[in-house]
Chains A and B, each alone.
Chain A
Amino acid sequence: MTSTTAARSPKRRFRFQGRYLLLIPLLLMTIFYLLPLYIMLVTGFKSFAEVSLQTMWNLPGGFSLENYIAAFEKLAPHLKNSLMMVIPAAIISSMVGSVNGFVLARWRFPGSNLVLPLLLFGMFIPYQSILIPLAVFMKNIGLAGSIPGLILVHVIYGIPITTLTFYGYYMTVPKELVEAARIDGAGMFGAYRHIFLPVSAPAFVVVIIWQFTSAWNDFLFAVILTGNENWPVTVALQNMAGSQIIAWNVQMAGSFLAAVPTLLVYIFLGRYFLRGLMAGALKG
């Protein structure tokens, strides 16, 4: 025992020192990851006079809010659209996912094993393959161009991922607990309300964050299904960036504004966000 420790200690000391060199690549990567954020923030704080592409990496001379104000004036209605769309979409999605996950994991029916894979396929399809029918259908039912229409679409195409997340979570609830409740005469709703719902908070957080982020960041559905005044912020930002009239520094400030809500969610609830991501990887 003593001899092993003695033999290993020089090696361990070597490893100990060498390890810190590994911080160098990590710090270099840190710079790489922060560059776009740096450009967004710094450009936003420059005054109109100060902004030039040739000095884009320089720090601002002072804290001017001109760019942010200009960007906010342009984007405010669309930020509001995004919020109005994302909040209901995330809440409804999580409720649907919870019920589905409960049934498929712990209140199965003959054939229920087939349901999950059939639902999950919907998570991966390229939406280009359903876009034309979707646009026609939404128009036919009178929801094209509207925020409720977009909510519906996010809820439906969110079914696979939300179901999967809750399914995975509810699989950790012991089967025996459900069996016991059944013996005691609990029905499906009783079991859901008294056994599953009370322990579901973490899964709800994961799913709400996930749906909030993906609906907020969506561009494809929004650009096809909404008209100018109902544009969420991604479409408005892209439009702003595409126009020649709006200065690039305002675009940068606008990008930052569009990123703030999801960034905040990530900063404060990142742990859960990560868990949501992992669900997307199935068993990865």
Chain B
Amino acid sequence: MITENASLKPAARRRLNLGKYAGFFLVLPSIIAVGIFVYGFIAWSVRVSLSQWKGLTPDYTFVGLKNYINLFSDPRFMVDIRNTVIFTLVFVLGSLTIGLTLAILLDQHLPGEAFFRSLFLFPMAISFIVTGVVWRWMLNPAITADRLSGFNLLFHNLGLDFLINQWHLTPIWGIAAVALAAIWQMSGYTMALYLGGLRAVPDELREAARVDGASELQVYRRIILPMLWPVTLSAVIILGHISLKVFDLIIAVAGKQLPLDVPAIYMWQTTFDGLFYGRGASIGILLLISVAVLIIPYLYYSLRSGGES
């Protein structure tokens, strides 16, 4: 192998030197596009966020971190942070739990496996807007007996009246009801990630453990689950960054209601309805920072371990 390569080198190298950068020119348009639309625009946003721009005409007068400081004493932004935390916790934990459970169940080679797998995944193909519009009616919070509808009506008909609640109109925790819709949409995806991980566990390893007398439960607890940590990490990062960005789902379920506000909605409203560009940009940049904290280490490690081959 090595000798073969060495003998190729002189001839190959001459060509390589000629067109060493040919590939670069082919990728250049994309590099420029992403350079402008991602990195350039981020820099531009940072500049807006440090300015006092308010109103239709751009005003880049430098005001330092004023917009950021104001946000942290802004009660609305505090509600946004609380909602994001609740939403993220419920959504990520819910999707992981359901996803892992479904993946383990599907890993038992039961009849209808392919059917279940496709079924649990189909919500992924639907837009958050469609999901939101439908869930809006299923979460309909009417609770008086004659006006019951949606899930509350279903619970009532099943004799589960104690489950009847206000859903997204519940004070403080209302956002968790919206997270349910997000779980519906993304838990199948989480299942697919876990299923991929489970299928990568060598059969011999399971067999060996069984031969050693491990029960099925022990095989999962001691051998398989520890091997799924990298999948869990990927899933947490993907789901986590989706939940930090959540926007259209909430708009579709509840419109722009203050109790269900999140940073992405605040950003949109304050910028495009209120024309507070400086403040809108600083919300955008704060969102970017919170996502980057998750994503940059993730990109670094996954590309480093799998980049060269």
Contact = CB atoms under 8 A, between A and B. Distances in A.
Contacts of A19: 108, 110
B41 A133 contact: yes
Interface stretch (A59-67, A193-201, A217-225): A217-225
Interface stretch (B68-76, B85-93, B131-139, B163-171): B131-139
Nearest to A155: B33
Contacts of B16: 182
Contacts of B6: none
B26 A188 contact: yes
Given A19-B110, A129-B42, A248 B137 contact: yes
Given A108-B23, A255-B134, A284-B193, A126 B291 contact: yes
Interface size class of A (residues with CB under 8 A): 35 or more
Given A132-B271, A188-B19, A273-B125, A283 B306 contact: yes
Given A132-B277, A284-B196, A219 B129 contact: yes
Contacts of A29: 98, 102, 120
A133 B45 contact: yes
Contacts, number: 306
A13 interface: no
B54 interface: no
A156 B153 contact: no
A132 B45 contact: yes
B177 to A, nearest CB: 14
B122 interface: yes
A131 B122 contact: no
A216 B248 CA distance: 13
Contact of A130 (B37, B192, B193, B298): B37
A135 B267 CA distance: 14
B274 interface: no
B302 interface: yes
B2 interface: no
A265 B121 CA distance: 13
B199 to A, nearest CB: 12
A130 B38 contact: yes
A188 B23 contact: yes
Nearest to A20: B110
Contacts of A129: 41-42, 45, 284-285, 287-288
B234 A39 contact: no
Interface string A117-134: 111111011111111111
B61 to A, nearest CB: 16
8 contacts: A107-B22, A113-B307, A125-B42, A131-B45, A187-B19, A238-B252, A281-B234, A282-B234
Nearest 7 CB-CB pairings of A with B: A284-B234, A217-B127, A130-B41, A129-B288, A266-B125, A53-B149, A128-B284
